[in-house]
Chains A and B, each alone.
Chain A
Amino acid sequence: MARFDYLEPHSLDEALQMLADRGDQARLVAGSTDFLVRWRTGVWRPESVVCMQHVPGLDYIRWNPDDGLAIGAMATVQDIEQNADVRRHYPALAAGATAFAGVQVRNLATVAGNVCNASPAGDTLPALLACNAQCLIVSSTGQRWLPLDELFVGPGQTALNPGEILSELRLPTPAPNTGGLYVKHSPRGAMDISAVGAASVVSLSDDGSCSSVRIALGAVAPTPIRAYGAEGRLVGQQPTAANLAEAARLSAQSCNPIADVRSGADYRREIARVLTERTLRHAVATAGNAPDFADIRRLAVQTAW
């Protein structure tokens, strides 16, 4: 149990300064749900810990039709799961949040922490990718915007530089005729790391064809990934069963999974195909409807359908 200095900034600027002063010897924490595990097992041994719990004003979730959804750095997964705008406009993200751990952990864990932790299995990540999230990154010297899929560099690795904080995630407002879903594959109905996760967000044109398709997968590659090949196969096409099945097949081809205690690589690839197809079908079937959260909750963790 390594010792560390514990720092409690009361503003974002103060936090940024503390990080700037200490360089890579400091570790920022939000909900600490990843931090505590890594620290106790000795994986992370920072000299100092900068805790954001007492920085006010960062736990916002705001939505309006023009700017879309803004998620502050301290908004928890439970806040997201409970948020009416999220449930209404971003059902895939609501699914990712409800599939995540259990209520106690969701109450602590932040979405930004899930992103910055950059686990390939992070449950909100495929949905955020499929919702085309952008990252607002701040530091003591300025700020920049980065598309989420450029943030993930490797397992647990991001494009953040030492001293940078992800202060906001921004999700554009979906086109009118859009549906989406995230499904987590897990042997257990809650409190489990996903073996595979898949999110699809599909917008349909007036003629019923797919005007925009985003498919993202978790736990099948070193980072969460977009299945660009599968997306490209569908755009401009009618979402027929055959087309969706073909897209799902292509989606599985984007995977580069590992084998571990949870499952073998081939099984992961196969499940990625099944989940892609199921989420695509659901997205198409519900496009333009008001999402039913009870339905989402039932579908979000796939133990057996």
Chain B
Amino acid sequence: MTTEFKVLEQNHPRVDAYEKVTGRATYASDVYLPGMLACKLLPSARNHARIVSIDTTQAAALPGVRAVITGADFPDVRFGSGALRDRYVMPREVVNFVGEPIAAVAADDEATAEEAVELIKVEYEDIPSVVNPLAAMVDGAASVHPDLEDYEGYGFTMGHNVSTLLDADRGDVEQAFRDADVVVEDVYRSQGINQGFLEPMACVADVEPGGRLVIYASTQGPYPVRASLAAVLEMPVSRVRIVPMELGGGFGAKLRLAFEAFPALLAMRTGRPVKLVNTREEVFTMNGPRLPVTNYIRSGVMKDGTITAREAYTIFDVGAYLGAGPNSGIGHGIGAYRIPNFRLRSYGVYTNKIYVGSYRASGVADMTFAVESHMDHIAHEIGVDPYELRLQNALREGDVSVSGAVVPGNGLIETLEAVKERIDWPRELEDGHGIGLALCEWRSGSGPSTAAISVNDDGTVSLLTGSVDISGSDTSLAAIAAEALGIPMEKVIVAKRDTDLAPYTGQSGGSRIVYSQGTAVQRAAEDTVQKLMALAAERLGVPEDALGCEDGRVYVMDNEPQGLTFAQLAAASVTSRGGPIIGTASLSSMPYTPVFAAQAAEVKVDRDTGQVKVLRYIQAQDVGVAINPMAVEGQLDGGVVQGIGRALTEDQQFDPDTGAVRNPSFASYLMPLAIDLPEIEDVLIRVPAEDGPFGARAVAEPPGFGPPAAIANAVYDAVGVRVKQLPLSGERVLAALNGEYDDIPFDVAALRRAEGIG
């Protein structure tokens, strides 16, 4: 199967490898413009307060300061990053979290700007606040957004501090629970997680002589940034140009408007370019991380292992604003299984802490931790093997997914089998050692995707897309174009782009670039080939269906030596009736294409300290077709590394009273290092998708879902305790070993009552 490809299924170094390894790639902080000013931000010191006054006179008077702005300098418009327009780009009257930027300074240099920020005097009047989302849902709790019901986009109306409620129901849940042989119930909690990308946010704003705004930005989503920026500045989008620079990691944190509006307004005020490079502390305290999630989950199970009913209530803390979402967690309450009766609820709850952001399939990792830990709990409860329980209940082709789509052919079972074989399950291990499994499910992402390919008269092609390169996606797109055009990779030039040049394209995120954007590229390549053939037919005087196209050349099938190369055709096109050759394609929505992955962890638990060490990690993922196997494995390994961090050490903590981030640095927010990681073994399963370029499925997000549950299950296997709260720190595991570990309280009855259930 793989042999039929000329480009795909082979390892290709990145198209931008030279720039990256020589340090010549240009990031937003590398942009220096003449007369450029430096911008610094003043963070709110309170988590819920009325701004009585902001006195900027002293700051503005400091030599070298060129402008100071506050919320009042922006138009009075709310914008939204998620479902609701629930925030001002800079608060006008009320601050909602500690760290929220409330003023910005532009000065000749950073040190002066920093000094000026310290001279701004703010008088606050505190308003009652709430930090814990479960407390925020209770009657009488402080209200984070008293005007919630007036917000544009608000449509669900479900009560206290609840921004959004998503639901999914099927079958007769109550009856199924009554008929079940065993009912298993758990509450899981996962922690705040920072995306941990290498490059802090950065941008440079400039005003062109004609008054258009140009933003050089570190972003995954130039078009959404353009839209939000235009909205908050009350300008038409056509007055804004976003130039996406090299992206030093994003993982969802750079999908939307971040801080670009501040240098933008300062540039408009001063007429000079303004640069803002955020510090790591600002990344932690100003830009949305993932916030804690509490998951109540209950299953009805038959003695033979069939899961017949599922109820899941998920509480997503969304912080001060819906910076993302509401969330993609809802459908994942049943996991990769066929469960005929379910009731799934997912609440987004406002609190006075930093707003929630996106991170590698926001919410799904939290859900997977709950669902896959719960699967093991069920298995132990009814005395079946956790592997067999998964196999028995796994979704099969023809089943109906939560969203109602029919599950197409896929490699789920193969991934499970591959992992079972590699880890040698089941197996007796020495004391303190254990193995755990997890099954991950996801879908390939859709969204507006466009591509244009023009043929150059040396036989190369230029590929233009609006998508930002993320973890090598440009290389994959080039490979798809090369494969579809029948030319080598080196002949594809991926054009640099900005929002003036490139066709409108959605964000680089949500596992959508290779699958959706890749399909657009494939179709644009096919369109290009068609146009080349038409021109060749005209020039060679033969009908189109007599022609073949291979190796960068169109030829007469009956007489191969007769033909024209792409170079000749490109040259000829300039004077042809049809003109220069450019193939294009656009699409927005793609069919449901699931992605499944099975994972296994082998761990060692130190019974005296509770510390968990991952000794081996195995993952098998159905990738459909590996566009660039090396890049696929990079994605899989990176995901697992992030997942291991989530499982064991990463924990963005918040002060219980003020909601302030307690550990805003990499010295206290602990991401795993190479020294902490096991060898990660990847198995690529290839069941080609019905849609997607050449049968490729999305790859990026599922690998990060499995580690918390796989490791928690392995810990249970090793020492017989189940820790239901992340991270699985030594402290928590030791407490569990000592029997001092409490279940997480959760008043599910109150939520059911609110809906009139039970």
Contacts and interface: CB of A to CB of B under 8 A. Distances in A.
B604 A304 contact: yes
Contacts of A137: none
A122 to B, nearest CB: 14
Contacts, number: 64
A264 B110 CA distance: 38
B606 A3 contact: no
A191 B673 contact: yes
Given A261-B663, A304-B604, A190 B609 contact: no
B648 interface: yes
B111 interface: yes
A303 B611 contact: yes
A187 interface: yes
Contacts of B675: 188-190
B673 A302 contact: no
A271 interface: yes
B308 to A, nearest CB: 39
A89 interface: no
Contacts of A191: 673
A304 B606 contact: yes
A188 B609 contact: no
A59 interface: no
A187 B734 CA distance: 13
Nearest to A189: B675
Contacts of A264: 731
Given A1-B114, A187-B649, A261-B662, A271 B673 contact: no
A79 B80 CA distance: 54
Interface string B728-748: 011100110000000000000
Interface stretch (B400-408, B446-454, B664-672): B664-672
A85 interface: no
A119 to B, nearest CB: 12
A267 B609 CA distance: 9
Contacts of A303: 611, 613, 676
A5 to B, nearest CB: 15
A193 interface: yes
Interface in B562-606: 604-606
A108 to B, nearest CB: 16
B673 A305 contact: no
A189 B678 CA distance: 12
A188 B670 contact: yes
A25 interface: no
Contacts of A1: 110-111, 114-115
Interface string B659-689: 0001100011010110110000000000000
B438 interface: no
A262 interface: yes
B658 interface: no
A246 interface: no
B661 to A, nearest CB: 10
B604 A188 contact: no
B392 interface: no
B45 to A, nearest CB: 14
B60 interface: no
B612 interface: yes
A262 B663 CA distance: 9
Interface string B107-118: 000110011000
B462 interface: no
Given A1-B114, A261-B663, A192 B670 contact: yes
B518 to A, nearest CB: 37
B707 to A, nearest CB: 15
A2 B667 CA distance: 23
Contact of B734 (A3, A189, A267): A267
A239 to B, nearest CB: 19
Interface in A253-281: 261-264, 267, 270-271, 274
Interface in B595-653: 604-606, 608-609, 611-613, 648-649, 651, 653
Contacts of A271: 609, 730
A304 B611 contact: yes
Interface string A183-210: 0010111111100000000000000000
Interface residues of A, number: 22
B609 A262 contact: no
A1 B38 CA distance: 14
- Best-surrounded residue of B605, B663, B675 (most CB of chain A within 10 A): B675
Contacts of B667: 192-193
Contacts of B734: 267, 270
A35 B573 CA distance: 66
A101 to B, nearest CB: 10
Nearest to A187: B649
Nearest to A185: B609
A1 B118 CA distance: 10
Nearest to B115: A1
B729 A187 contact: yes
B111 A188 contact: no
B275 to A, nearest CB: 16
A188 B673 contact: yes
Contact of B730 (A193, A261, A267): A267
A189 B114 contact: no
Nearest to A262: B668
Contacts of A267: 730-731, 734-735
Given A187-B648, A264-B731, A304 B114 contact: no
Contact of B731 (A188, A189, A192, A263): A263
Contacts of B731: 263-264, 267
A2 to B, nearest CB: 9
B667 to A, nearest CB: 7
Contact of B611 (A190, A192, A270, A302): A302
B307 to A, nearest CB: 34
Contact of A187 (B115, B653, B730): B730
B684 to A, nearest CB: 29
Nearest to A37: B667
Contact of A304 (B110, B609, B651, B673): B609
Contacts of B673: 188-191
- Best-surrounded residue of B662, B667, B675, B730 (most CB of chain A within 10 A): B730
B329 to A, nearest CB: 26
Nearest to A42: B118
A261 B668 CA distance: 7
A250 B298 CA distance: 46
Contact of A188 (B115, B606, B672): B672
Nearest to B605: A304
Contact of A274 (B110, B604, B608, B729): B608
A187 B611 contact: yes
Contacts of A274: 608-609
Contacts of B653: 261
Contacts of A188: 649, 670, 672-673, 675-676
Contact of B676 (A185, A189, A262, A305): A189
B613 A304 contact: yes
A66 to B, nearest CB: 39
- Best-surrounded residue of A274, A304, A305 (most CB of chain B within 10 A): A304
Interface in A281-305: 302-305
Nearest to A102: B673
- Best-surrounded residue of A267, A271, A303 (most CB of chain B within 10 A): A303
A156 to B, nearest CB: 16
Nearest to A301: B675
A305 B606 CA distance: 6
B609 A302 contact: yes
B320 to A, nearest CB: 22
Given A185-B730, A188-B675, 5 more contacts: A189-B676, A192-B667, A264-B731, A267-B731, A303-B611
24 contacts: A1-B111, A1-B114, A185-B730, A187-B611, A187-B648, A187-B729, A188-B649, A188-B673, A189-B675, A190-B673, A193-B667, A261-B663, A263-B729, A263-B730, A263-B731, A267-B735, A271-B609, A271-B730, A302-B606, A303-B613, A304-B605, A304-B606, A304-B612, A305-B609
Q: Lowest 4 CB-CB distances: which A-B pairs, in order?
A: A304-B613, A189-B675, A304-B611, A267-B731
